[in-house]
Amino acid sequence: MSSLTKLMCGIILVVVPTIQYGGYFLLQILSGKHQEMGLNDFQKSMFRAGHAHAGVLVVLSLIAQVLVDHAGLSKGVEWMVRIGFPLSAILISGGFFGGAIGNNITEPTKLIWVLYIGIIVLFISLLTLGIGLIRNR
């Protein structure tokens, strides 16, 4: 495992408690606490989706860091992929959260565009890493 992989995995793991706290807070909301926030079912669903995507994409980010060591990518492309995976986790989950912020929101707000940027970043990172691994086998 390269030192860069160790660095990126360490940074990603240090950020995981923020996802844990988000899960704790979400559980409180879904358990009926914080009713003063006035969240409706749409908002709760969007927050649930944002939290789930954050968790799954962070695990994928950790796996991707190890795989990048074996993809034979140039240094610039390697950095793009290494940063792209955790960045997509932030953007996709943030898009779900941002798309549901406000009073009496029943459909995604304009901030949903953040989700779509995250999808593009994830798509590019996945394709680049996958092609690199296939070419460097």
- Residue 38, domain extent: 3-135
Total structural domains within the chain: 1
Q: Which two tokens stand for residue 4?
A: 């860069």
According to the model, what pLDDT value does residue 59 have? 96
Q: What is the pLDDT, as a whole number, of residue 29?
A: 83
What span, in angstroms and rounded, lies between the C-alpha atoms of 48 and 71? Answer: 34
pLDDT of residue 134: 97
Burial call 81-98: b when 16+ CB within 10 Å, e when fewer: bbebbbbbbbbbbbbbbb
- Is pTM beyond 0.85? Reply is yes
Nearest C-alpha neighbor of 11 from the set 78, 74, 79, 58? 58
Task: Identify the segments of the chain with pLDDT beneath 70.
Answer: none
